[in-house]
Amino acid sequence: MSLLVIFKLLGSLALLMFDMKSMSEALQKMAGPQLRHVLGAMTTNRFTGALTGMFVTAAVQSSTATTLMTVSFVNAGLLTLVQAISVIMGAHIGTTLTAWIMSLGMGFNITDFVYPAFFIGIILIYMKKRRIVGDFLFGVAFLFLGLGTLKETGFALVEDPASKEAIAAFFTEYSSGGFFVNLLFLLMGTVLTLCVQSSAAIMAITMMLCSTGVLHIDQGVMLVLGENIGTTITSNIVALSANTQARRAAFAHMTTNVLGVCWVLILLKPFFAMVCHLAAFDPTMTPDEPGFAIKASVALATFHSAFNISNTALLIWFVPQIEKFVCWAIKPKSSVEEEDFRLHFITAGIMKTPELSVLEAHKEIISFSERIQRMFGMVTELLTEKDQNKFSKLLSRIEKYENIADNMEISIAEYLDQVSDAHLSDDTKAKIRAMLREISEVESIGDSCYHMAQTINQKVQGKKEHFTEEQYKNLHTMMGLTNQALTQMNQLISGRKDSFDVYRSYNIETEINNYRDQLKSQNIIDVNNHKYSYGIGTIYMELINSMERLGDYVVNVVEARTGTKMQG
């Protein structure tokens, strides 16, 4: 085997992996947020969930993308574990479409259609409104170019007597041996898919080897089963840093495929005979017979589809039992203080797409803003805490939250900056710009909370004078209004912006401003009437002004999220 042939094989494999990723990204850009809404809305029961997973995966041409998105939804609490399991089962069926596309590529010289697709694609790319369609067309063209090159290289390889003899000798050595040899090829398919991180690429290689006659169809079937297990490992790797429910969803992904492989191994002979009958394929055919290549590749695609459809049809009735099993297997992590800095949703994903990355960043911003509201709640507690020991602990927690807020802003911004380096749609670019503004304003809210805590500490350390009952009452009223503004902000960030009345936030901000002006005037009168000292009045108004500024930051977040400018 010459070095040129080896590099050509590796290059065509790399091209195949790249174009599958490119095509999936382009499809997700075209679909946009609708994919997320579909996943969230059409999972009312296990059957609609499976159909949703099937159609979404067939649309984006990537079960990995659907599975990772589903795990992210579970991580964010948008899907239950039962819903996620059914979606993942459906994704297994949807991904079989890729195998059928590949089998078609084995049947004729598909590269004849590649170059017109490249030509049309480049024209669309330069048409700004059709750029994403052009990207998709380029992905399809590269997919077929990679398949065509892989097929031509494979056939050229087996036409060389020395190479064919060496490869055939390797597989012939393991052509008999029964169950344990089947397990060997099963393991081989699992490991190869894990290493390459693309079941589509290994499926293409399997089809190429079987269609040339180098690999027997029985061995190819075991590689396909191994690929079904290997592809589940990706979601488990990604979920390692996620919460317990997300790790359970990823483990359920692996469990369903492993269970499927187990029952297929038990019924392998009758199941494979049924597949051969459906595909009109005779396992005793030789590579020299006409139509062997296309029939072998169609048989593998049929086996892939039959396995996943049968497995889903069988296991979908046992989703509650699978849920109980994964809950038993994956125990909750040991309790960690919520103050510890850790990004919960942003993960070092494999084959991640911009749409999924933006979703993860959005969920992280939701967590960030909710954490900041808890920080404000601590400031409210700090104001009336009389026990010095508890006061010191609460102040220390607030200081820790301030450091966390700084770290979260930097980490999310750096992540969004990395995402923005990718080829993005205009809608995704606008989302990233808005999200960068959101995290900056949320961090400013954290700064205001910390400043208020320091101001309260300044009063306590002075030990000369306390707020009057009237001042405490006014401060709590102002804090109540501010907390309302934060609640409205979090409802907007975590919900659908098109169903949010932006003027509710504006009305609360107007009320905060008016109340601040009223208290400012009253403070001057009270100081002049010697109800309290000028010093305590200064601290009092500093807290009031800090909450008014905090309200301004809330308005800025709302404007960034909704894309509107509220006029006073």
On the question of pLDDT at 258 being above 70, the answer is yes
Among 32-36, 284-288, 312-316, 372-376, which stretch is predicted with the lowest mean pLDDT? 32-36
Residue 218 burial (10 A CB sphere; 0-12, 13-18, 19+): middle
pLDDT at 36: 55
Query: Rounded CA gap, 449 and 379, in Å?
Result: 7
CB-CB contact of 148 with 109 (8 Å) = yes
Query: Rounded CA gap, 368 and 380, in Å?
Result: 19
Tokens 């200081």: give the residue.
399
On the question of pLDDT at 336 being above 50, the answer is no
CB-CB contact of 255 with 327 (8 Å) = no
On the question of pLDDT at 538 being above 80, the answer is yes
**Percent of the chain with pLDDT strictly greater than 90:** 22
Q: What is the mean pLDDT of residues 245-271?
A: 87
Domains of the chain: 3-329 (no CATH), 354-562 (1.20.58.220)
Among 180-189, 346-355, 508-517, 543-552, which stretch is predicted with the lowest mean pLDDT? 346-355
- Number of neighbours of residue 378 by Cβ within 10 angstroms: 17
DSSP three-state, residue 35:
helix
3-state SS, one letter per residue, for 146-183: HHHHHHHHHHHHHHCHHHHHHHHHHHHHCCCCCHHHHH
pTM: 0.57
CB-CB contact of 200 with 63 (8 Å) = no
Shortest CA distance to 347 belongs to which of 338, 358, 360, 336? 360
At 350, is the pLDDT very low, low, confident or very high (cuts 50, 70, 90)? very low
pLDDT at 474: 94
At 382, is the pLDDT very low, low, confident or very high (cuts 50, 70, 90)? very high
3-state SS, one letter per residue, for 382-448: HHHCCCHHHHHHHHHHHHHHHHHHHHHHHHHHHHHHHHHCCCCCHHHHHHHHHHHHHHHHHHHHHHH
Q: What is the mean pLDDT of residues 241-246?
A: 69
Maximum separation of any 2 CA atoms in the chain, in Å:
107
Shortest CA distance to 79 belongs to which of 252, 318, 256, 333? 252
| Long-range contacts formed by 233-238: CB under 8 A, 24+ apart | 233/190, 233/193, 233/194, 234/64, 234/67, 234/68, 234/197, 234/350, 234/351, 235/64, 235/67, 235/68, 235/71, 237/350, 238/68, 238/71, 238/347, 238/348, 238/349, 238/350
- Cβ-based neighbours of 263, under 8 Å, separated by 6 or more: 311, 314
Look up residue 223 and give its two tokens.
Answer: 């590689």
DSSP 116-152: HHHHHHHHHHHSGGGHHHHHHHHHHHHHHHHHHHHHH
Look up residue 40 and give its two tokens.
Answer: 């969230």
Report for 186-195, 471-480, 496-505: range of highest mean pLDDT = 471-480
Q: What is the mean pLDDT of the chain?
A: 78
Q: What is the mean pLDDT of residues 125-136?
A: 74
DSSP 512-551: HHHHHHHHHHHHHHHHHTTSS-HHHHHHHHHHHHHHHHHH
On the question of pLDDT at 290 being above 80, the answer is no
At 34, is the pLDDT very low, low, confident or very high (cuts 50, 70, 90)? low
- Sequence-ordered alpha helix ranges (H) in 33-80: 34-41, 46-60, 63-76
Query: Rounded CA gap, 371 and 377, in Å?
Result: 10
Tokens 């579909």: give the residue.
38
At 378, is the pLDDT very low, low, confident or very high (cuts 50, 70, 90)? very high
Residue 132's Cα: distance from chain center in Å?
21
On the question of pLDDT at 513 being above 90, the answer is yes
Shortest CA distance to 411 belongs to which of 486, 341, 350? 341
pLDDT at 339: 44
